Amino acid sequence: MSLEQGLLVITVPNRFVGGWIEKNFSSQILSALQEVSIADGYKVQVDKAPSTIDEPSRPAPAATGRSSRMAVSPVAAGTKVNDTSASVKRDKYKFSLEKFVTGKSNELAYKASVMAARSEDKIFNPLFIHGTYGTGKTHLLQAICNERLRLNPKAKCVYISAEEFTNKYLDAVLRTKRVDQFRNNFRKVDILAIDDIHFLANKESTKEEFLHTFNSLDLANKQVILASDAHPTQINKLAENLISRFISGMVVRIESPDYDTRVKICRIKLADGGVDITDEAVEYLAGSITKSVRDLEGAVLKLQAYSAIFRKTIDIQTVSHVLCDLVHHRRTVVNVDEIISDSANFFSLSANDLQSNRKDRTASMARSIAMYLSRELTGMSYPEIGKSMGNKHHATVLQACRKVEAKVKKREIFKWKSPKGIHSDSLSGIVDTIRQSVES
Ligand SMILES: Nc1ncnc2c1ncn2[C@@H]1O[C@H](COP(=O)(O)OP(=O)(O)OP(=O)(O)O)[C@@H](O)[C@H]1O
């Protein structure tokens, strides 16, 4: 995109895309432009890039940065791809291990993925990755396949969603009657990566077929990798035999990204997109969008578009203005009891411990964090918060909020002891984790 003298020019890869944008989105583009700009009277022009060929299904070049995002690619972000053809190529799938940003929230899942990708024989079967939406499960599954293919271009790696697996199986049984071919496709591979495996939960015949597929790959020493939004034992209507198979492998959870990982992800993705942004604005962005990497990517794309149009350094005000719908989006009703209980849980304490007058370091920190988050998430007054916290004085609440705020800013480390052992984490990380659990 470029914006000069009231004319916004959008360059597209082919006439089809251009026509579609003009027909369907002109008015939205104009009103979006007016929203982010003070000037009026813009015009929009859609141009076809001179070097592109007019074939919508042509693969996008493997470029990085802005141009690759704008190109039409047959493998869009997060698309569940299925291809069992023998002629596998490098970077068959969109995501790679090297583009996966690691931090405390996903390190174990990442390391297990690297091991699964690099070892010819299975190490643990299956590798089961679970976590909430947009935290990188699909990314890792596809990246494992790509990495194995990079090391051994002759390897057979299949990435498929459980839904697609089900459809193919039913098709083979009911329509084409080619069950043998179906089994050949899935039982003679080096890596079988199935996404959203919870989809199989109430599909009785497919579950059984999958179990046989799994057993046959396991016997052949081949690697199975599964992703789901929940731990195997938490998936409703998943058969006992499948649950026990799954938990006999390696089950790893990806958490929502912690603050430091979010900062890292933002920096990398913004730099990839060529966005000029201040450090404070990156920190503000990472502090405001907490749930998933997909949400962060959405924010980065908006900032990228803004920066491409207005060509100026992005500061905190711009982030807050451009992303107001994302940044201020919060669960509306947050209950102070949930905050107290989640803060207590985090430190292996009880709600009573926080509402009592216990004075040890851990209890008073847990209490202070609960007060701080109550103020931030509920908008309650200091006296009201004090009352919910076992009739504490409002000045105590005010002091606690200030103390936590200062420690979060300084990224101070807090150490504490619980029955599970000795722990240590940054105050910003602790507050983030409790906030996420309250808001989820
Ligand atoms: N640690 C990470 N580093 C870089 N990019 C990431 C990371 N985690 C997630 N992403 C990116 O965030 C987007 C969403 O990730 P992905 O589709 O893998 O999430 P998911 O956990 O499979 O979500 P869902 O359960 O909704 O399918 C992708 O574009 C992915 O590349």
**Is the Cβ–Cβ distance between 342 and 331 less than 8 Å?**
no
Going from the Cα of 78 to the center of ligand 1, the distance in angstroms, rounded, reads: 7
pLDDT at position 66 is: 30
Topology of domain 97-254, CATH: Rossmann fold (3.40.50)
Residue 163 burial (CB count, 10 A): 17
- Classified by CATH at the fold level, domain 2-56 comes out as GMP Synthetase; Chain A, domain 3 (3.30.300)
- What CATH superfamily is the domain 336-439? DnaA protein, C-terminal DNA-binding domain (1.10.1750.10)
pLDDT for 352 equals: 94
d(CA 383, CA 208): 59
pTM (2 d.p.): 0.63
Of all residues in the chain, the percent with pLDDT exceeding 90 is 52
Out of 101, 139, 289, give the residue to mutate to test ligand 1, the one with the largest number of ligand atoms within 8 Å of its CB. Answer: 139
pLDDT tens digits, 187-244 = 999 999 999 999 998 899 999 999 999 999 999 999 999 999 999 998 888 888 899 9
Ligand 1 centroid distance, CA of 106 (Å): 11
Whether pLDDT at 322 is above 90: no
**Residue in this structure with the two tokens 């149009």, named with its chain if needed:** 309
Mean pLDDT is lowest, of 80-84, 100-104, 373-377, for: 80-84
Helix or strand holding residue 413 (H, E): strand 413-418
Q: Taking the domain 259-327, which CATH number applies?
A: 1.10.8.60
Distances (CA, A) of 402 to 68, 431, 438: 45, 14, 21
pLDDT score for 50: 56
In this predicted structure, the answer to whether residue 144 has a pLDDT above a threshold of 70 is yes
Please report which confidence band the pLDDT of residue 41 belongs to, taking 50, 70 and 90 as the band edges.
Answer: low
Residue 296 CA, closest ligand 1 atom number: 12
Peptide bond into 383 cis (omega under 30): no
Distance (angstroms) between ligand 1 centre and the Cα of 360 equals 40
Span(s) in the chain for CATH 1.10.1750.10: 336-439
Nearest residue (CA) to ligand 1, atom 29: 77
The pLDDT, as a whole number, for residue 81 is 37
CATH 1.10.8.60 placement within the chain: 259-327
Please state, in angstroms and as integers, the Cα–Cα distance from residue 222 to each residue in 18, 61, 214, 261, following that order: 46, 32, 9, 32
Asked if pLDDT for residue 68 goes beyond 50, the answer is no
* Residue 49 confidence (pLDDT): 65
Which pair of tokens denotes residue 405?
């705020």
Compute the distance from residue 100 Cα to the ligand 1 centre, in Å. 9
- pLDDT (tens digit, 9 = 90+) per residue, 239-289? 888 999 999 999 999 988 888 899 999 999 999 989 999 998 998 888 888
Under 8 Å between Cβ of 75 and 93: yes
In the chain, CATH 3.30.300.180 covers: 2-56
Indicate where the chain has its CATH 3.40.50.300 domain(s).
Answer: 97-254
Whole-angstrom distance between the N-terminal and C-terminal Cα of the chain? 37
Q: Is the pLDDT of residue 64 over 80?
A: no
Output the ligand 1 site: residues, CB below 6 A: 77-78, 95, 99-101, 106, 131, 133-139, 229, 265, 293-294, 297
Average pLDDT value over all residues in the chain: 83
Higher pLDDT, 272 or 28: 272
